[in-house]
Amino acid sequence: MRVAVTGGGGFLGSHLCEALLRRGDSVVCLDNFSTSDPANIAHLLSNPSFELQQTDVSVSVEVTGHVEAVAHLASPASPPDYLRQPLETLAVGSRGTENALRLARRHGARFVLASTSEIYGDPLVHPQDETYWGNVNPIGPRSVYDESKRYAEAVTAAYHRAYHVNVGIARIFNTYGPRMRPHDGRVVSSFITQALTGEPLTVYGDGKQTRSFCFVDDLVRGLVALLDSSEMGPFNLGNPAERTVSELAEIVLEMTGSASEVQYHPLPEDDPVRRRPVITRAREVLGWEPEVDVTEGLRLTIAYFGARPAELGVSAAA
């Protein structure tokens, strides 16, 4: 099929484009590269089944020719990125999602939304299944992301009810892997970059907060399964193996053999205390579950970062 992928130049989007091309689909990638490096998809430009449109999807989403599916991934995703671009984040979650839904409606196409575990906010229920409605501060600094994704889910559900658009919602939990930007500020990329350059690992708060980390290949398999289905969900897509941030720091130090120290910094406002997905629904309905454990996933990610010392910064030789 021919698939429009908004945010297709980003970390997850570029892996999704590759996965679709690998199985014979055609891809139209729409991206403004506001939080990504065009190098992510440079190797795809010579593929006749791949088209790139450099465009702001908050303004419009137009594609020449027919598409059978729309995967809407465009949005800043790393906290430093969305805190730096608060209004752009709200715009792409609202107007960008509406524009992408309109494209799907015009084409009678399947629509998949990349939503997030952040819609659960700082959850009062643990672990989180899809019936939980969340605990989000609507005016806190993270709200530009959380609330725009909650709106994106709402408008996606409304397009389904009002216009019978064939929609699916993926609630993605923390995902890591090759092509994360070394300095994107997310915890996995930050710790690996710091460990490889001999800089201190910056643990926020006391490091006892938890996240559940999913390797990118697993996540992309889940997105493809959702694209191929006609299920709405929402579906939690993530790896339920939960770890504290301090544990992650220790694992990264051990796996890189780094002598970096651990430094403690204040916890950002409204930083969720714990997060772990219940993935029963995805397992039962989509037949999906993660396969890559954190040791293997980190090994592949560390190897990717290690092969790019110039991008890691100053003391890469340390």
Query: Contact positions toward ligand UDP, by CB under 6 A?
Result: 79, 174, 186-187, 190, 202-204, 209, 211, 245, 268, 271
- Please, are residues 169 and 233 in contact by the beta-carbon 8 Å criterion? yes
Task: Please give the DSSP secondary-structure letter assigned to residue 119.
Answer: G
Catalytic residue flag (residue 145)? yes
Strand 2-6 relative to strand 26-31, pairing: parallel
Nearer to ligand UDP, 115 or 209 (CB): 209
* Residue pair 67/121 in contact by the 8 Å Cβ criterion: no
Partner in contact with 58, chosen from ligand NAD, ligand UDP, none, beta carbon below 5 to 8 Å by kind? ligand NAD
Residues 233-292 close enough to bind ligand NAD by CB under 6 A: none
Reduce the DSSP state of residue 244 to 3 states and report it.
Answer: strand
CA distances in angstroms from 231 to 7, 112, 223, listed in the order given: 22, 10, 12
- Would you count residue 74 as binding ligand NAD (CB under 6 A)? yes
79-87: long-range contacts, CB 8 A cutoff, minimum separation 24: 79/142, 79/145, 79/185, 79/186, 79/268, 80/184, 80/185, 81/35, 81/184, 81/185, 82/142, 82/144, 82/145, 83/141, 83/142, 83/144, 85/34, 85/35, 86/144, 87/144
Give the x/- contact pattern for ligand NAD in 16-35, rule: CB under 6 A.
--------------xxxxxx
Quickly count helices (H) and strands (E) in the chain.
Answer: 12, 13
Residue 74: which of ligand UDP, ligand NAD, none does it interact with, CB under 5 to 8 A by kind?
Answer: ligand NAD
- Residue listed under structure tokens 């892996």: 15
Burial track 3-36 (b if 16+ CB lie within 10 A, e otherwise): bbbbbbbbbbbbbbbbbbbeeebbbbbbbbebbb
Q: How far is the CB of 213 from ligand UDP (least distance, A)?
A: 9
Residue 187 binding target from ligand UDP, ligand NAD, none, CB below 5 to 8 Å by type:
ligand UDP
By CB under 6 A, is residue 11 in contact with ligand NAD? yes
Q: Which of residues 161-200 bind ligand NAD (CB under 6 A)?
A: 172, 174-175
Segment near ligand NAD (CB under 6 A); pick from 5-13, 196-204, 241-249, 261-269? 5-13
Per the residue annotation, which of 82, 120, 132, 145 is the catalytic one?
145
Minimum distance from CB of 224 to ligand NAD (Å)? Answer: 14
- For ligand UDP, which is the closer residue by CB, 26 or 174? 174
User: If binding is defined by CB under 6 A, does position 9 make contact with ligand NAD?
Assistant: yes
Token duo for residue 166: 């064939």
301 contacts ligand NAD (rule: CB under 6 A) = no
Residue 177 touches which of ligand NAD, ligand UDP, none (Cβ within 5-8 Å per kind): none
Catalytic residues: 145
Give the binding site for ligand NAD (CB under 6 A).
Answer: 7, 9-13, 30-36, 56-58, 73-77, 92, 96, 114, 116, 172, 174-175
